[in-house]
Amino acid sequence: MHKKRLVWLALFLALALGLAACGGGDDDGSAGEKLFKQTVIGSASSPGCVTCHSLDVDVALVGPSQAGVASRAGSSVSGQSAEQYLRNSIINPNDHIVEGFAEGVMYPNYGAELSDQEVDDLVAFMLTLK
């Protein structure tokens, strides 16, 4: 009856709003973008990503431009998905060295100084850089 339908409508709206609020799960690309653009980051106020990485095509600062990184990340290291490659590049930067760049230059302690959520957010943001 009418009242029953209203109850269903209310339930449906609550569910829809709930899903919208979660939008994209826990990993937040916009939070990651903010983190990426900070000049200092993490519990030890270490140099931020933008101090070494440009987001403009072909602009190499200290590290490679991250423009388009999402498109190549999945084929950078065999056996690693784009997500795994990006995460590992942040936490263990010397596991794989991008061609043309030197080992030991990328800041090595993010794994200890960033929270899991911060790393997740950074990865989510970088996955949007197609």
Residues that bind ligand HEC (CB under 6 A): 36, 41, 47-49, 51-53, 62-64, 69, 76, 86, 89-90, 93, 97-98, 101, 105-107, 110, 122
Q: How many CB atoms lie within 10 A of CB 10?
A: 10
Q: Which two tokens stand for residue 103?
A: 């080992």
* Closest by CA position to 114, among listed 3, 17, 36: 36
Q: Which is nearer to ligand HEC, 13 or 26 (CB)?
A: 26
Cβ proximity of 32 and 83 under 8 Å: no
Cβ proximity of 87 and 119 under 8 Å: yes
Residue written as token pair 């709206």? 13
Q: Which is nearer to ligand HEC, 17 or 109 (CB)?
A: 109
* Minimum CB–partner distance for residue 66 and ligand HEC (Å): 6
* Minimum CB–partner distance for residue 24 and ligand HEC (Å): 19
* Minimum CB–partner distance for residue 117 and ligand HEC (Å): 13
